[in-house]
Amino acid sequence: MKKWMLEQLKLTVASLASKTVKKFKPTIVAVTGSVGKTSTKEAIYSVLSAYRRVRKNVGNFNGELGLPLTILGDWSENDLRVIARDSKNISTAKKAIFFIRVVLVSMLRLALPRFLVRYIGGYPEILVLEYAADKPGDIKYLLEIAKPQISILTAIGDVPVHVEFYDSPEAVLREKVRIIEALPAAGLAILNADEPRVLSCEEKTRATVLSFGFHSNADIQIKDFENKIEMIDGVLRPTGIIFKIGYEGSFVPVRIGGTLGRTQAYSAAVACSVGMAFNLNLVQIAEALTYYQVPHQRMRFLAGVHHSTLVDDSYNASPLSMQSAIETMSSIKGSRKIAILGDMRELGSFSKQAHHDIGLLAARVFSVIIAVGPEAGEYVVTASKHRVAKKNLLHVERIEEVLPVLRDYIKEGDIVLIKGSHSMALEKAVVALQEI
């Protein structure tokens, strides 16, 4: 699709989305940050959708085209695949047909009286939306389409993802904090209490502020966190996480299966904060979270070959999320650990040091490290100088180079972390190592 045509479509879709918000006045819950956006969005949706009519972004459709499309309709994944960034063999005609459909449906909804729209299915009461900030100005643009009543800032980190397109990590924070600044006085800002630079953003808003995290001063506190490891078929395997979430001294137990690490506990704490804003109590929220499904490729574990366990975190990677994943692996006792680690992209001048730091951390945890990508070679260089034997280190430019022999590295009972930036396609390693 020609660039000028795509730009015109973006403007049209944005205008229709803005008018839709003004007409139906849904409560908008905005989520941004450098890590944890999708998991947080999904956890919020799990809590609210049990009690209210809610719509969320599908996948990573959270930018200048994906966010307004979410406002305009509950499109299927097949619909959105037609216009996805990585769609290659989709004809211009198919894309045009989809956009024509979007425009016609949206214009009809705007033309109809609200009581008729309610009669034919209605419009969601709540929109849970990720706000992407891939480059300067992105959040500002999205706020012109839809201003939130509740805003969440998950985490930023010392070297945020996409920092390549900003002057500094502080510039990334300034862009993302716009969703806090845009809140009305009657709004709610939900901030990570465990990251001082995020918590300091409370000065940027007129809204009520709730903090979440493991810190004892957090309004929504997480405590007694534990990665559950159990003996299954004679092999130690992770089965999920358990923890407690509390507010004003009252705590409820929460269990989330199929994942490891603190990331999902953070997501659950945010969902608790949002749930309480909609007058749900802790028991209702904890019950709703039992149905929460961890998003694909985000610290999900799967059965691997030779009775191994795969920890699939292959969707994306930043220094903060990579550090979190490795620290989670270090907390697991009694198993040999293997890492398949890809490049962390879009770090600009911070890249070499960030890859060095992750290589150093990985060397303390993993017995075998397979590095994938030109920048990932720094993992191997660093690890070879710190404890890991050279025979247990491998560096390849592309994951396809190692797929034929990947299973040879795995032994019974191993736990394998697979993580890298989305463009590294490490999901291919997950497929290659899964138990068939």
Q: Where in the chain is the domain with CATH 3.40.1190.10?
A: 3-289
Distances (CA, A) of 309 to 51, 239, 312: 35, 10, 9
Confidence of residue 122 (pLDDT cuts 50, 70, 90): confident
Q: What is the pLDDT of residue 280?
A: 97
Confidence of residue 134 (pLDDT cuts 50, 70, 90): confident
**Is residue 238 helix, strand or coil?**
strand
Q: Is pLDDT of 406 > 70?
A: yes
Confidence of residue 230 (pLDDT cuts 50, 70, 90): confident
Q: What is the pLDDT of residue 1?
A: 56
| Mean pLDDT of the residues in the chain | 91
Q: What is the pLDDT of residue 169?
A: 80
Q: What is the pLDDT of residue 88?
A: 65
Tell me which of 6-10, 56-60, 222-226, 283-287 is least confident: 6-10
Three state DSSP letters for 175-237: HHCHHHHCCCCCCEEEEECCCHHHHHHHHHCCCEEEEEECCCCCCEEEEEEEEEEEEECCEEE
Q: What element of type H or E holds 32?
A: strand 27-32
- Give me the mean pLDDT over the 161-173 stretch: 78
| One-letter identity of residue 393 | L
Sign of the Cα torsion 206, 208, 211, 216 reads: positive
- pTM (2 decimals)? 0.92
- Give me the mean pLDDT over the 199-211 stretch: 95
Q: What is the pLDDT of residue 260?
A: 87
CATH superfamily for domain 3-289: Mur-like, catalytic domain (3.40.1190.10)
Summarised one tens digit per residue, pLDDT across range 235-259 is 667 788 999 999 999 999 999 988 8
Q: Is pLDDT of 180 > 80?
A: yes
Confidence of residue 7 (pLDDT cuts 50, 70, 90): confident
CATH superfamily for domain 300-433: Mur ligase, C-terminal domain (3.90.190.20)
Give dist(CA 89, CA 165) in Å, integer: 29
Sheet containing strand 220-232, edge to edge, reads 54-56, 126-130, 27-32, 150-153, 188-192, 208-213, 220-232, 235-247, 250-257
Q: Where in the chain is the domain with CATH 3.90.190.20?
A: 300-433
